[in-house]
Each structure stands twice: as structure tokens, then as C-alpha cells.
Amino acid sequence: MKTLDLLQLRRSSKKFGTKAPNQEQLDTIFKAALRVPDHGHLKPYQFFVIEQAQLATFEQHLNSAVIEFNLGEDGVKKAKKISSQAPMIIAVVAKITKDLPKVPAWEQMLTAGCATYAIQLAANSLGFETCWITNKWVNGSALRQALNCQEFDKIVALLMIGSPEEENEITLASQAEDISGFVHYLK
């Protein structure tokens, strides 16, 4: 697929097959993520790969968030679904350095977000479906501890990744978005 086609037609999907990226594919994906815009060359992010064998432990961390945030029985069901939906999850943690006059915290967060999107695009280009989720899960104490989060760090994404469920092609939008109303020119 051509790069511009992917950029204009990509979309998230929660319909995953059983295959996850192998080590060579993961290396390619992470190399793409390391090339995002990064003022100060801080690389203010870390990536945590949660493979099939660790998904039960990941579910336990989500269930801890269910209790911590009083998410009830619906939260338990959602934790089960999230932890079993895709064969791999990549957590992206923004490693924020406070009090840098030239690179404020918000800019570091944007860089971590860009890295997450680069992971999605690279995975899509390799034929994998992706879906970026957050919600209260990313603030759970157990998950933050498991991902070595410090006080100012923020889990910016739980990125589900896997092969397409039924077809050999990833899910794409049928057409590019209409840009009307979004693009303006300074006068």
C-alpha cells in the first residue's frame, strides 16, 4: 500500500486474528516510532510489549483499576474483553521531564503521541490491525507500577495489535475524509 493511501484511509479496528508481530516486525515498528518529531532529542517515551503469555497478568492490572476507580461489573467485563481481544498490546508511556524551559511537558506528551501513531502506521503498513485505547485503565496504580511509571509519567496508549480477523487486508475507510471546515488560511 502506498504511504499516502494509508495516511488518508487508515482506521482503527477491534477485529483481530491470532497473529502478532514477530521480533523483526516489532523492531521495524519501533524504529519508525523513534523517528517522530522530538524537540530536544529527549525520546520522552518507552514502549512495553505485552505478549500473549502476559495478557492474563495485564488483565489483573486492569481489574485492579476496576476496583480502584469503582468501575463495577461492566468494568470487569471490559477488562476481560480488552485483555483478550488482540494477540498483543503495546503500552506507550510518556516519560515526562518537568521544568525544561525549551521543551515543556505538553510538547513531550505530543511526541509520545506521535510515537504511538507511528507505531500504528508502521504496524498497519506491515498488515496488522491496530486500535489505540486509553480510558481510566491508564491511570490505574497497578498498571502504572508494572510499567515503571514515575510521578510525572503518563500512559498515553494501550495499543492493541494483531493480524486481520478474516481477510488478509487491514480494515480501511472507504474514502478519505472531507477537509471542508478544517482547513483555514491566515489572512
Residue 113's nearest CA partner among 88, 127, 132 is 132
Which pLDDT tens digit goes with each residue over 69-112? 999 999 999 999 999 999 999 999 999 999 898 999 999 999 99
DSSP 121-145: HHHHHTT-EEEEE-GGGGG-HHHHH
* Whole-number CA gyration radius for the chain: 17
Give yes or no for a contact between 46 and 119, defined as CB atoms under 8 angstroms apart: no
Mean pLDDT value across the chain: 95
Rounded to two decimals, the pTM is: 0.94
- Angstrom CA distances, 183 to 129, 175, 179, stand at 29, 18, 6
CATH pick for 19-162 out of 3.40.50.720, 3.40.640.10, 3.40.109.10, 3.40.630.10? 3.40.109.10
- Contact, 36 vs 118, CB < 8 A? yes
Q: Which helix (H) or strand (E) holds 50?
A: strand 45-50
Would you state the pLDDT for residue 108?
96
Show the cell assigned to 53: 503469555
What is the reported pLDDT for 1?
Answer: 77
Tens-digit pLDDT profile for residues 160-180? 999 999 777 899 999 999 999
The per-residue pLDDT for range 12-65, each reduced to its tens digit, is 999 999 999 999 999 999 999 999 999 999 999 999 999 999 999 999 999 999
Q: What are phi and psi of 76, to 5 degrees?
A: -65, -45
Instruction: Give residue limits of the domains in the chain.
Output: 19-162
Helix (H) or strand (E) holding 118, with range, is helix 105-125
| pLDDT tens digits along 128-139 | 999 999 999 899
Position 166 scores a pLDDT of: 79
